[in-house]
Amino acid sequence: MCCIPVFCWITATVLEDVLKTREGGELPNTLTEMYIHFLLVQTKVKKVKYDGGAETDPHWSPESREMIESLGKLAFEQLQKGNLIFYESDLTECGIDIRAASVYSGVFTQIFKEERGLYQDKVFCFVHLSVQEFLAALHVHLTIINSGVNLLGEEESSKKPRKCELSYFYQWAVSKAFQSPNGRLDLFLRFLLGLSLQARLTLLRGLVTQIGNISQTNLTTIQYIKKKINENPSADKNINLFHCLNELNDGSLVEEIQQSLSSGSLSTDELSPAQWSALAFILLSSEKILDEFELKKYSTKKEAVLRLLPVVKASKKALLSDCGLSKTHCEVVASALKSNPSHLTELDMSFNKLWNSGAEILSAGLESLNCKLEKLNTLSICIWVQTIHPPNPTIFRVMSGYSLSSALKSNPSHLRFLDLSENYQLEDSGVKQLCGFLESPQCRLETLTNYYYFFVVELFYAFFRLRGCGMSEISCSSLGSALKANPSHLRELYLSNNKLQDSGVKQLCGFLESPQCRLETLSSPPPLWRGLLWYCNLSEISCFSLVSALMYNPSHLRTLDLSNNNLQDSGVKKLCSFLENPRCRVELKECGLSGISCSSLGSALKSNPSHLRHLDLDENNLKKSDVQQLLDLVKNPNYSLRILL
């Protein structure tokens, strides 16, 4: 609430008054205490400014009490209906005359306001929803204390409200708020329980006619709340219940976990469900945003994951790999992406069974203008949409390609790294949809990778992987068209383990010929994977297409990986004409090469000795005598070749 201007103003108003008038007393330390003091400040202003009284006079005149009771009734009844703006008919239902309402707004100007509606009719509202919730809670509490009537009981139009015991009343209130949709009664419940403490009721002397001793009732309520926390996995609901415990001055659950964290003795294997929720509450209540939250460091137990997951809202980097996440968990993560402000810049959901429904929920989060995500991982560092172990793949199907493409086009400028590897059912139609994102003028793609059916897109060093996506030469046509439309940011391209074939590579070469192309790497990604055109069913025909394209625009390429393709000696001979390019790294692992290729490579390198540093010829049918010429170049200080595999 500290981000809400009205709450900051209320806090400043209260602190100014308390610091000016207190005599060694404590400052307000809960939300309820803050709002009680705010109400007292406003009644004091009314007494001095409008009633002509002195600051030392009793706060509550009969008139002030009547005003607050009427406003409290209005606040509660309209809160139940979900209304924030009130009309004359709403006031009449609460027994408030329209003229009296105007007086209230003129006297309690910092609580209740009169405005003009669309048709110049009078409308009324509280200065903030939290003020309405506080007065509603005060009305309900005054009613149960003064008359024993439970206004939160089941609606029975034909019967009068029933009286009930206080202990039952508070438990009923907790259950009712817990069941309310979207946390609608969360703050109301905090105020209601905060008002139950005797010390706070004492502050309202004159307004509360009966106080009594309700300490035992509070103990019963505390135990009930702890039981509720232990039984219910809903993290957001439980976090509000911890706020309620704070209002009741009980921090035992939180203090226990804090002590274990401070001493380094926290054993996550022994935590109860309530303690997991306490840990989440501590992490979320920290004033500092977490640089990194790795869920597996705490636990991957189903109970723990659901209770800890909301911590992503207070994290810059969330590592959720292999934590058994599903659609339900995606809703929590999407909520973090949509929140204002959203702190997440890197998200790893790899090795989780998200399915289409989960992916679509995440896409809705990515679409939010509040989303600032830069890296979204699906494999080891990204959103995982298919596990590495069939037969239980988390398949990101074609429909998810539509959802994701739509989301990224709506908000493309922040994403830096997107990995959708191992999604063999994405196929050409899904890739075509995603290419719409690549065409966006706001797209800043710098790395595009596809290994073992994967395709990585990097925006400002961002990866977009579609490994295992069933891409063929048809995808190359879509991809080539998209990249020609917006080529200047791409720096790395990885398309390994797709059935691109020679015809597919020919489609991509149109992009390589573009004067705006700044491609530096046609190669393997980090060590776990091979790269660009590795294992793509290529032959020597592709070498002709590639070299022809690269000769148009040779100055930027640094790394070329064509491993595991049947290039043969004729293909390598053609590639050698390209090796004059500065600082090029070449990988030709398992390409069916013989000593003829080594001779061609040696001749090419001698004509351009200063640039090539890395050459991989592993797993070709080569003898030591075949590579001796290349080994001599490694040893010769006049040549740049330093690594020969």
| Same domain flag for 465 and 452 | yes
Q: Which residue has the higher pLDDT, 562 or 487?
A: 562
In the listed set 112, 140, 171, which residue is the last one of a domain according to the structure? Answer: 171
| Euclidean distance between CA atoms 327 and 329, whole angstroms | 5
Which pLDDT band holds residue 399 (cuts at 50, 70, 90)?
A: very low
Parallel, antiparallel, or unpaired for β 585-587 and 614-616?
parallel
Residue 546 located in a structural domain = yes
CATH of the domain at 368: 3.80.10.10
Look at residue 525 and tell me if it is in a domain.
Answer: no
What does the H/E/C string look like for 152-218?
A: CCCCCCCCCCCECCHHHHHHHHHHHHHHCHHHCCHHHHHHHHHCCCHHHHHHCECCECCCCCCHHHH
> Among 458, 486, 506, where does a domain finish?
506
Region 462-474: mean pLDDT is 47
Q: With both helix axes pointing from N to C terminus, report the angle between 427-438 and 473-485 in degrees, rounded to the nearest 10.
A: 10
6-10, 11-15, 390-394: the lowest-pLDDT one: 390-394
Q: Do 273 and 241 reside in the same domain of the chain? A: yes
> Do 150 and 186 fall into the same domain?
no
Rounded CA gap, 475 and 483, in Å?
A: 12
Whether residue 98 is found in the same domain as residue 158: yes
**Could you tell me if residue 516 is inside a domain?**
no
Residue 591 lies in a domain: yes
Q: How far apart are CA 39 and CA 57, in angstroms?
A: 16
Residues 264 and 292 in one domain: no
DSSP class of 577: T
What CA–CA distance (Å, rounded) separates 483 from 470?
A: 20
Of 230, 251, 284, the last residue of a domain is: 284
Q: Residues with Cβ < 8 Å from 405, sequence gap 6 or more? A: 433, 434, 436, 437
Q: Is 501 among the domain residues? A: yes
Among the listed residues 290, 353, 273, 345, the one whose alpha carbon sits nearest the alpha carbon of residue 321:
353
Same domain, 388 and 398: yes
Nearest 5°: the CA angle 513, 608, 570 is 65
Name beta bridge partners: 208.
Answer: 205
Rg (CA), the chain: 34
Same domain, 118 and 79: yes
Q: Could you tell me if 163 and 252 lie in one domain?
A: no
Whether 138 and 68 map to the same domain: the answer is: yes
Q: Quick one: how far is CA 33 from the chain centroid?
A: 33
Residue 641: give the domain boundaries: 536-645
Is residue 385 very low, low, confident or very high in pLDDT (cuts 50, 70, 90)?
very low
Q: How many domains does the chain have?
A: 4
Residue 278 is assigned to a structural domain of this protein: yes
Per residue in 71-127, pLDDT (tens digit) is 899 999 999 999 999 888 888 888 887 777 777 676 677 788 878 766 667 888 888
Provide the pairing of β-strand 521-522 with 293-294. unpaired
Could you tell me if residue 518 is inside a domain? no
d(C-alpha 549, C-alpha 166), whole Å: 82
DSSP state of 109: T
Instruction: For residue 512, tell me if it sits in a domain.
Output: no
pLDDT tens figures, 402-430: 456 566 666 655 666 666 665 555 555 66
- Using pLDDT thresholds of 50, 70 and 90, give the confidence band for residue 195: very high
pLDDT of 585 reads 57
Residues 20 and 56 in one domain: yes
Give the range with max mean pLDDT: 2-16, 49-63, 86-100, 235-249: 235-249
Shared domain check, 196 and 159? no
The verdict on 389 and 499 lying in the same domain is yes
Mean pLDDT lowest among 204-208, 303-307, 509-513, 519-523: 519-523
- The neighbour count for residue 491, using CB atoms within 10 Å, is 18
Q: Which residues of 303-316 are buried (b: 16+ CB within 10 A; e: fewer)?
A: ebbbbbbbbbbbbb
Beta partners for residue 561, in sequence order: 587
